[in-house]
């Protein structure tokens, strides 16, 4: 599986499969999660060989009806990333509060440094 497929598999049980790359469809039931790769470190061995690992920074955003629901789910996601079996991950910083007042959406966003098979 690809790293994105592994992230989907990791997070899906927490939100009944409502995990989407970049943006969720309009009117998706809440809570839901979006994710996107936002860069990463290039692994460059000294020898001219292709590495068997890849690094990526992934931004995970939880959206919910209430801030406390987003915060609670964000903690579960952080724990899931830290203990993931399919890849190695660590938080890059603490969560950031998000909101979309016109849509009455409240969120929590956190970036993770992920090392996975290529």
Least confident segment among 13-22, 45-54, 69-78 = 45-54
Supply the range of the domain harboring residue 62: 3-117
- Beta strand 53-64 with 32-37 is antiparallel
- pLDDT of residue 30 exceeding 90: yes
Q: Which residue has the tokens 């470190």?
A: 41
Whether the model pTM is above 0.85? yes
Mean pLDDT along residues 78-105: 97
Give the count of beta carbons closer than 10 Å to the beta carbon of residue 114.
23
| CATH assignment at residue 21 | 3.30.2000.10
- pLDDT of residue 47 exceeding 90: no
Cα–Cα separations (whole angstroms), residue 26 to 20, 29, 30, 103: 12, 9, 11, 10
Number of domains composing the chain: 1
Cβ atoms of residues 24 and 63 within 8 Å: yes
Question: Torsions phi, psi of 30, nearest 5?
Answer: -100, 150
With cut-offs at 50, 70 and 90, classify the pLDDT of residue 44: confident
With cut-offs at 50, 70 and 90, classify the pLDDT of residue 16: very high
Q: What is the mean pLDDT of the chain?
A: 96
């Amino acid at each position: 599986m690809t790293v994105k497929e592994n992230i989907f598999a990791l997070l899906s049980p927490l939100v009944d499969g409502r995990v989407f790359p970049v943006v969720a469809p309009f009117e998706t039931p809440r809570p839901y999660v979006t994710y996107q790769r936002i860069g990463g470190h290039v692994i460059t061995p000294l020898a001219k060989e292709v590495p068997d690992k890849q690094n990526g920074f992934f931004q995970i955003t939880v959206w919910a009806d209430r801030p406390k629901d987003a915060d609670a789910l964000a903690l579960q996601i952080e724990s899931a990333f830290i203990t993931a079996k399919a890849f190695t991950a660590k938080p890059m910083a603490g969560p950031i509060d998000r909101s979309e007042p016109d849509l009455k959406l409240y969120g929590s966003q956190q970036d993770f440094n992920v090392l996975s098979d290529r």
